[in-house]
Amino acid sequence: MAEDPARAADNAAAAVVHALADRGATLAVVESLTGGLLSATIVDIAGVSSVFRGGVVAYATELKSSLVGVPAELLDQRGAVDPDVAVALAEGGRQRCAADWCLATTGVAGPEPQDGKPVGLVFVAAAGPTGTEVRRLDIGGNRLRIRIEAVSGALHLLSERLHAEVDGTPVGGAR
């Protein structure tokens, strides 16, 4: 039987928090479609205060530019649901929160498509000392399931990056 998506996100958050704590590293987040769910999932983990710097929920497109530093031209040309926007969110959040790592989420939770992008299209990005990686997720289900699986996807991306860093293996897709 498949693991419950919320439990998967909680387990991934615990793994990430402990891995970051072991390294003495910090984390920030920038959220759009997850609307604070990523932060809430992270802060549910005991001991997180040594790791978590904070985050920004930039739901409105213009806040992605004014608060996080996503280039307005990029947002105008491609809209908020774009891999390069996810990268800019993660990199801007990392810099603004003075964190070693930053996770970002952007996408369409529905129930309607947004700017020609389908419901369930999500981009998550992880920015860190070795670069930034972005991943596309195509998630089915209702708004809550899309948001929960986006949280899980972002945390799994960071977990993979942290493990690759320890193993000394190249991080796929890092920019």
**Is the distance from CB of 103 to CB of 157 less than 8 angstroms?**
yes
Task: Give domain limits for the chain.
Answer: 5-164
Residue ranges of alpha helices (H) inside 27-171 are 37-43, 61-66, 72-78, 83-96, 143-167
**Residues 75-79: what's their mean pLDDT?**
97
pLDDT, tens digit (0-9, with 9 covering 90-100), for 111-145: 999 999 999 999 999 999 999 999 999 999 999 99
Task: Assess if CATH 3.30.465.10 describes domain 5-164.
Answer: no
pLDDT at 88 over 50: yes
**Residues 98-103: what's their mean pLDDT?**
98
pLDDT, tens digit (0-9, with 9 covering 90-100), for 138-171: 999 999 999 999 999 999 999 999 999 766 544 4
**Residues 38-63: what's their mean pLDDT?**
97
Provide CB contacts within 8 A for 10, sequence distance 6+: 41, 44
pTM for this prediction: 0.93
pLDDT, tens digit (0-9, with 9 covering 90-100), for 4-23: 888 999 999 999 999 999 99
What pLDDT was estimated at residue 3?
75
Angstrom CA distances, 147 to 1, 20, 167, 170, stand at 21, 23, 30, 29
What pLDDT was estimated at residue 175?
46
* Phi-psi label, residue 98: left if phi above 0, alpha if psi -120 to 50, beta otherwise: left
